[in-house]
Structure 1
């Protein structure tokens, strides 16, 4: 199996893995697989069965202890065209680890003699003491690309081969998405889970034509949530925090009126909407809907979407805002005609 001469190390490693049938991260069910692994230490490569691939040193670690939860929880969608990085660069190998990793590829003779020769020269592999920067062991790392589980769409965006960064120095300015507090904040954004957006309605089982229906969300669930992303070997981290600010209601039919008229219920005193209680029948709900016709034998698909603002703080006093996120759900609403009895 032959890679192109200018192919990246990642490409050639892929060829090796296919040939060996012992891939690292080959099973999506493996803990830590992909973007936001279950064990909180994703992006850390496991060792191959024969021990030829060393554990990567600089993966992003996520702390999700303050994340949202619940059966209907889900990830935010940016309200703009912005999206978190599909790939990024971080410390990946010590000199000894990179030597072990690359030599396993070269020894497999799957990448071609010419490419192997170029790579050996690049990493000064023939110098036993200085090759792979072994004379700098403990004073820096070889950096490489990490990917979320959405690649190959992000594959072409991080095609820079391994590069050395001395301990305490910033990565090269011309390398996109090298980990910084802001990049970590963007990765943390992608890990945020927010509670489901099924609103409570009154009347609950079925509402009536021309009768205002009150809508609200559980104030205990709709509070700020956050995720922290860090790279321990660099001592940097960032926390992205999502805070609910409004609920937008789409009644699912043009034959309806919403409260307020904009259909957007702003958060007030830590809650969205107001629970209905006895004695409020003659009041207009601060958040709700009034259907003007029956749903017949069907239902109307009410769409409830919560907007969350995102801000972040990070190492060295860094911080700022990221694009708002949205999360919504559809629930079926039965609307009946009011039955009148004539005597």
Structure 2
């Protein structure tokens, strides 16, 4: 559910009251095209004064996610099953201001809440003064701006479902406020949705394939001390994946694309040599390294490692294989750029034995 605004908390402290919040995020709902579960017949926003359903924008946060080119499990078909771990301390936008209501929607929501007497007379009267009877007073409106129906939207702060505790989640608590169609939101609303914010939301939805590399000797078999282990990925195992985030009523969008660039091997012990020494193998045309061929057992692989010490009885080395992804985005208004690289890896437990030799 959308975060409760601090201003409401302060006014209602100590009272066992319901507070106006947005419903749970539904990023798969197109605002004005289907609406909430109870308003499937609502017309598109802007048609005859806007959508009639309640909370169309509150349900979706004003953002629609298109992940048809994402990894599988999130709308795509690439066999992926994991989210990227961004390099550094980057995180997706914790909140944003976006078109959330038509005049009809905001009026319906507020009047329903007032009828419940759930927020207290003092607070209800303050809201009525702002949205109903304010008229020409600065920062107030008359009849929820119904006279401008179809000519703009009420914007409000939105926090993705489950993100209420994220740092900065309470920074979008200064709404709702009105914005005419074609106008930009007032400058004080620094978190107003932009293509770059959408790019960050899309980044958070990217799913990438499992890092299932081929090993020789096979991972399920015992590795041997001082015998190179070859690592490789077949052609076309990895390819770029992308997610697009849109605000349809603003004709605003951003597509974030993750492109695999390298594989990093971490042997799980200092008693190992990496090939190449950096432990990072570049991806070329969707493949990594060179497949093992018979007779190559003692050759140095272009991608792999050599264990120098056997594992103690009953123990293993955790071999970590991580695919590194470069992230870039493009968006409406000729916007675009780079986002922090991401990574996704898996760990394989390997048992390493001494090479047994026969003495005659």
Matched, 1:96 2:104: yes
Alignment partner of 2:185 out of 146, 159, 171: 171
Correspondences of 1:109-258 after superposition (within 5 Å):
109-125=117-133, 130-154=142-166, 155-204=169-218, 205-258=221-274
Of the structure 1 ranges 175-184 and 134-143, higher mean CA displacement relative to structure 2 is found in 175-184
Q: Which residue of 1 aligns with 2:8?
A: 7
Per the alignment, in what secondary structure is the counterpart of residue 243 of structure 2?
Answer: strand
C-alpha displacement at 1:254, in angstroms? 1.2
Q: Which residue of the partner structure matches residue 56 of structure 1? A: 56
Counterparts of 1:105 and 1:40, CA distance in 2: 24
- Cα distance in 2, alignment partners of residues 132 and 153 from structure 1: 31
Are the structure 2 counterparts of residues 8 and 185 from structure 1 closer, same or farther at C-alpha, using a change threshold of 3 Å?
farther
Unaligned runs of 5+ in 1: 26-32
Conserved? CA contact 2:131–2:142, under 8 Å: no
| Unpaired runs of at least 5, structure 2 | 43-51, 73-77, 136-140
What is the root-mean-square deviation of aligned Cα atoms in Å? Answer: 3.0
Q: Is the 8 A contact 1:47 1:55 kept in 2?
A: no
User: Hey, what's the Cα distance between the residues in 2 that align with 1:277 and 1:335?
Assistant: 21
- In structure 1, the residue matched to 2:354 is 337
Q: How many residues align?
A: 322
Q: Distance in 2 between matches of 1:201 and 1:321?
A: 33
Displacement of 1:46 in angstroms is 4.3
SS of match in other structure, 2:145: helix
For the 8 Å contact 1:24–1:46, the answer to whether it is kept is no
Residues 289-342 of structure 1 show CA distances to partners (whole Å, capped at 9, x for unaligned) of 100112233221101112111100111211111111111111111212111122
- Please report the TM-score for the alignment, with normalisation by the length of structure 1: 0.85
CA contact (8 A) 2:202 2:244 kept: yes
2:18 aligned partner = 16
Q: Does 1:86 align with 2:64?
A: no
With normalisation by structure 2, the TM-score equals 0.81
Of 52, 64, 68, 1:65 maps to 68
